[in-house]
Amino acid sequence: MPELAPYRSMRQQVEHWRQRIFVAEGEKVVRRLLESRCTVVSLLLPEKWLKNLQPLLLARPEEIHVYVAEKKLLETLTGFSMYQGLLAIGQIPAPATLEEVLRRSARPLLLTAVDGLTNAVNLGVVVRNAAAFGVQALLVSETSSSPFLRRAVRSSMGAIFQLPAVELSNLAQTLQKLRQQNIHCIAAHPHTDRKMLSQADFTQDSCIIFGSEGYGISPDVLAACDEAVAIPMSSGVDSLNVGSASAVFFYEAKRQRGRS
């Protein structure tokens, strides 16, 4: 059946991106997809899960193709072992524009941007942390992976369905535009002795930028930021995983804003 082709090609993520579709896997992620505004194309699941999700399916406005099969048969189709055997195909929503985000978001703004972040799992963790701490939008650089890759969606636990994502063609230029609008651009940069996290001011309109774990933030993006800020750490440890670092930064921003 051609309708099942996306499930057979789950490792061909470039092809999924060309089709503007994504895969959601696991009960929680599929449930959150059904609760979201994203268009759902189809579901593939064992019969025992169909009854649990029936109310959400009936509440959806679009026609959704539901395919039911035993977990072992599903794994034969997908080519790898699945923990719960639930999969869904959704349509990647039209990317938000920066102008829309700035117009619709409450002040003070709290945005985040990723530069050169190609590890889908880590990107998903950043998305999940952003949603947890009230970040209003994710700016995805031209050198970063899509937050709608299968592993990114899974590690975000479906948080990407709620967080607007802006696809950029030039992050450095975008940061310069933000600064022109008095949005403070703060680089999460471990190799700096200029300012520690607690000394930074997150109570104003802010955008926090994270780089890749291997190379950090690129020089042109770092130069486009207002300042670089580091998390204080014990000697012998020079950096954190980008997912952990994002949680620390977002928490500090939320703490400062709660205090004010």
Strand 206-211 with 110-115, pairing? parallel
- Indicate if 113 and 190 belong to the same structural domain: yes
Distance CA 195, CA 23 (A): 41
- Indicate if 200 and 156 belong to the same structural domain: yes
Among 91, 126, 160, residue at a domain's last position: 91
Range of the domain at 62: 2-91
- Indicate if 116 and 208 belong to the same structural domain: yes
* CATH number reported for the structural domain that contains residue 153 in this entry: 3.40.1280.10
State pLDDT tens for residues 134-152: 999 999 999 999 999 999 9
The reported pLDDT for the residue numbered 11 is 67
For residue 226, which of 209, 250, 248 has the smallest C-alpha distance? 209
- Indicate if 116 and 165 belong to the same structural domain: yes
Among 91, 111, 140, residue at a domain's last position: 91
- Indicate if 174 and 127 belong to the same structural domain: yes
Domain count, the chain: 2
Please say whether the dihedral angle defined by the alpha carbons of residues 4, 10, 16 and 22, taken in this order, is positive or negative. Answer: positive
- Indicate if 114 and 202 belong to the same structural domain: yes
Distance CA 96, CA 81 (A): 34
- Indicate if 229 and 104 belong to the same structural domain: yes
- The DSSP code sequence of 34-94 is HHSSSPEEEEEE-HHHHHHHHHHHHH-SS--EEEE--HHHHHHHHSS--SS--EEEEEPPP
- Indicate if 116 and 61 belong to the same structural domain: no
State pLDDT tens for residues 56-114: 999 999 999 999 988 777 777 776 666 677 999 999 999 899 999 999 999 999 999 99
The reported pLDDT for the residue numbered 35 is 98
- For residue 239, pLDDT beyond 70: yes
The overall average pLDDT reported for the chain is 92
Among 45, 68, 91, residue at a domain's last position: 91
State pLDDT tens for residues 1-25: 667 888 877 767 778 888 999 999 9
- Indicate if 170 and 74 belong to the same structural domain: no
- Indicate if 25 and 150 belong to the same structural domain: no
- Indicate if 133 and 10 belong to the same structural domain: no
* CATH number reported for the structural domain that contains residue 6 in this entry: 3.30.1330.30
- Indicate if 113 and 241 belong to the same structural domain: yes
Q: Which residues pair with 186 in a beta bridge?
A: 208, 227
CA distances from 56 to 30, 32, 63, 66 (A): 10, 10, 12, 13
The reported pLDDT for the residue numbered 69 is 83
Q: Write the single-letter amino acid at 163.
A: L
Check: pTM over 0.75? Answer yes or no.
yes
Q: Provide CB contacts within 8 A for 248, sequence distance 6+.
A: 197, 231, 240
Helices (H), 117-214: 120-132, 150-155, 171-180
